Homo-oligomer: A and B are copies of this chain.
Amino acid sequence: MSETDADTQTRAWWTTSIIDMEPGRIAFRGENITDLIGNTSFAKMIWFMVAGTKPTPVQTSLLDAALVAGVDHGPQAPSIAAARMAATCGVGLNNAMATGVNMLGDVHGGAGEQCAELYYDIAARMDQGHGLDAATQAGLDAWRAEYGKIVSGFGHRFHKPTDPRAPRLLGLVREGVASGEVTGRFADIGEAVQARLSEERGGRALAMNIDGATAVIFCELGLPAPLSRGLFCLSRSVGILAHAWEQMGEGRRNKGPMPPALLPLYKPQAGEG
């Protein structure tokens, strides 16, 4: 079939810079897949696909660390619970995974994105000449004007006063600074935010949670804030898969949220007889 202008217009509707193909050849962003397979770790490939550049060794390690850190927080997390329930309803493993990922919204998985916005804003204020403390205070004020009082990335219902993932991730950033491949400035900013929020509570320490800590890493890596959510989804997909798979092995059908002997309480609406 010889190509017409109309064909080109249709093909142009789906233009991409990510992948190029002809029979027997697949290239991602200009590199043959046969050169990538076997020479590229999964984390490095993730970076290359979403950001279009190649990470340095320290950057790859930090991305690996962030992806490992976020894989799971157990069946109390709604995304994990839903994926486990889906796995008992007679759908495919892919559908169970999609069920979980679909729930990583602004509140459940999007917190990292909002936190990265805060960090980048504080950094921009420092670039304009403000000190860390002043920039942190101004950044927090601006962020809260948009998103409200509770700062995404800080505080944990369960892990008090420390979410164990945060100091470990920030430690890795500090170690990486010597290599010159990351600067550590976002580790400073993250800790300044944490310190400021703890001060507001009269000095009771407030945890930097997984969203706040991975946002430090994603900012150190120079990745755009909205990608934080996407990368978190890749990471959490692992836990979602592991739990859906474990659940499938139990052979249960139509698993509800609590033991079948317990029924939800019924509370008549105001005004009902």
A contact set with B: CB distance below 8 Å: 1, 4-21, 23-26, 28-30, 32-34, 36-38, 40-43, 45-46, 49-50, 52, 61, 63-65, 67-69, 71-79, 81-82, 84-86, 88-95, 97-99, 101-110, 157-160, 162-165, 168-169, 171-172, 226-227, 229-231, 233-235, 237-239, 241-246, 248, 253-269, 272-273
Contacts and interface: CB of A to CB of B under 8 A. Distances in A.
A38 B264 CA distance: 27
A21 B91 contact: no
Nearest to A4: B6
Contacts of A42: 41-43, 46, 63-64, 67-68, 235
Contacts of A234: 234, 237-238, 241
Contacts of A76: 14, 256-258, 260, 263-264
Instruction: Give how many copies assemble into the complex.
Output: 4
Given A6-B7, A10-B6, A89-B79, A98 B102 contact: yes
